[in-house]
């Protein structure tokens, strides 16, 4: 097992509630590490509606999903959180009173005095295209994310999809790959127009290929693809030789491993005691969309309030022998020093 990373608080999920939890914990002198399966922070706001306006954040009449994430990142900066992005929390085990061991699918191990579950609607997972037998190649020559670009150097890549991920990776990987083919069902894209224009320019310069169609099958053996079979809406089926396929068909949210963490889910939500925002497990706190209590509203503002309550409770776990004095940021010099403004 890898050497554990020790921290006061481990936050599962870097959505808006997980981010604001860093702030509330930081004001009370607790350091946080955050793990998120996405390769960026912001949860639903950044992934599902970055450009949509939100109108019900208190005192901010209008802000986009991405704007809110950027503002939260600026707000938590003084507390220096450590992010572990592109990793999914798999196991959570209680090993002390309270002390938790948490592991991720990338082999990281954390030991945290408190764990804050801010996992929202669950972990974002890539949608699998309906290609027979694709499972046999997943993780070896079919990949749903690009964790290290260099893995694809000098390979023949087939990138499938018409959204921002497909276009962004086409542009980023074309310079290092042996050859990139972008395949999409239609000659119209949901991606940013600038990316589409750049892709078309590369095709015109013969630096990459564009193919109309859908993948209907894969050829290969021992987890290694050698070609993809494809069919356009109109016209004959065809075959593209390739070493790697990267399908980008969007994301879906799955609850994942949470059910195995001893939290007694009720209708896929973690019931908490509102006085403490604590789950049934001592030291295991839950905020945001994934938890529930009578009268719960799944709103960002509710999650922010829950983060403040959570930090008060977490303090007693992290500093069992210290008294917590309630303070306002407007008047407390000690809080202002932590924020770097005094």
Interatomic CA distance for residues 89 and 115, integer angstroms: 11
Which residues 237-276 are close enough to bind ligand FAD by CB under 6 A? 256-257
Choosing from 119, 202, 230, 285, the residue that interacts with ligand FAD (CB under 6 A) is 119
Residue 118 contacts ligand FAD per CB under 6 A: yes
Q: Cα–Cα distance between 37 and 232 in angstroms, integer?
A: 33
Q: Determine the interface stretch with ligand FAD among 106-114, 118-126, 190-198, 223-231 (rule: CB under 6 A).
A: 118-126
Pair 317, 10: CB distance under 8 Å: no
From the CB of residue 232, how many other CB atoms can be counted at a distance below 10 Å?
A: 15
Q: Is the peptide bond before 98 cis (omega within 30 degrees of 0)?
A: yes
Under rule CB under 6 A, which residues in 302-341 are in contact with ligand FAD?
303
Smallest distance, ligand FAD to C-beta of residue 237, A: 37
Q: Could you tell me which of 284, 289, 237 has the C-alpha nearest to residue 262? A: 284
Query: What separation in angstroms does the CA of 117 have from each of 56, 122, 142, 200, 294?
Result: 24, 10, 31, 43, 19
Using CB under 6 A, which of the segments 170-178, 200-208, 263-271, 293-301 binds ligand FAD?
293-301
Measured from each CB, the residue nearest to ligand FAD is 120
Question: Does residue 41 sit in helix, strand or coil?
Answer: coil
User: Binding of ligand FAD at residue 22 (CB under 6 A)?
Assistant: no
Site pattern 42..71 for ligand FAD (x: CB under 6 A): -xxx--xx----x-x---------------
Binding mask 272-291 for ligand FAD (x = CB under 6 A): ----------------xx--
Q: Both tokens of residue 235?
A: 């016209």
What is the rounded distance in angstroms from the CA atom of residue 25 to the CA atom of residue 16?
A: 14
Choosing from 9, 38, 270, 314, the residue that interacts with ligand FAD (CB under 6 A) is 38
Which bin fits 288, alpha (ψ -120 to 50), beta or left (φ > 0)? left
The set of residues, in sequence order, having a beta carbon less than 8 Å from that of 168 and lying 6+ positions away, is 191, 195
Q: Which is nearer to ligand FAD, 56 or 97 (CB)?
A: 56
Q: Residue count at the site for ligand FAD (CB under 6 A)?
A: 36
- Please state the closest distance from residue 34 (CB atom) to ligand FAD, in A: 9
* Among positions 36, 114, 168, 242, the unique one binding ligand FAD when judged by CB under 6 A: 36
Output DSSP code: residue 289: G
The answer to the question of residue 98 lying near ligand FAD (CB under 6 A) is: no
Which residues of this chain interact with ligand FAD, rule CB under 6 A?
Answer: 12-18, 35-38, 43-45, 48-49, 54, 56, 88-89, 118-124, 256-257, 288-289, 298-301, 303
């Amino acid at each position: 097992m890898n050497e554990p990373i020790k921290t006061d608080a481990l936050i599962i999920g870097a959505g808006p509630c997980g981010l604001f939890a860093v702030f509330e914990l930081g004001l009370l002198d607790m350091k946080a590490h955050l793990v998120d399966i996405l390769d960026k922070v912001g949860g639903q706001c950044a992934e599902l509606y970055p450009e949509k306006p939100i109108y019900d954040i208190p005192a901010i009449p209008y802000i986009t999903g991405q704007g809110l994430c950027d503002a939260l990142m600026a707000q938590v900066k003084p507390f220096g959180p450590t992010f572990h992005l592109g990793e999914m929390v798999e196991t959570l085990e209680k090993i002390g009173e309270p002390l938790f061991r948490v592991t991720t699918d990338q082999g990281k191990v954390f030991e945290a005095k408190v764990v804050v579950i801010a996992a929202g609607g669950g972990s974002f997972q890539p949608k699998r295209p309906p290609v027979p037998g694709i499972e046999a190649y997943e993780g070896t020559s079919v990949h749903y994310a690009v964790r290290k670009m260099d893995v694809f150097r000098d390979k023949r890549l087939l990138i499938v999809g018409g959204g921002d991920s497909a276009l962004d990776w086409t542009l980023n990987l074309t310079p290092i790959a042996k050859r990139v083919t972008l395949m999409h069902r239609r000659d119209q894209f949901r991606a940013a127009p600038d990316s589409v224009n750049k892709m078309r320019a590369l095709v015109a310069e013969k630096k990459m290929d564009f193919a109309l169609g859908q993948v209907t099958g894969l050829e290969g053996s021992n987890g290694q693809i050698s070609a993809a079979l494809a069919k356009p809406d109109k016209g004959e089926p065809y075959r593209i030789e390739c070493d790697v396929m990267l399908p980008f068909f969007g994301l879906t949210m799955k609850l994942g491993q949470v059910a195995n963490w001893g939290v007694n889910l009720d209708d896929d939500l973690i019931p908490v005691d509102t006085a403490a925002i604590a789950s049934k497990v001592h030291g295991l706190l839950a905020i945001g969309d994934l938890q529930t209590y009578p009268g719960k509203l799944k709103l960002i503002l509710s999650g922010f309030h829950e983060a403040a309550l959570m930090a008060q409770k977490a303090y007693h776990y992290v500093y069992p022998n210290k008294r917590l004095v309630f303070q306002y940021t407007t008047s407390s010099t000690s809080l202002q020093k932590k924020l770097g403004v005094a």
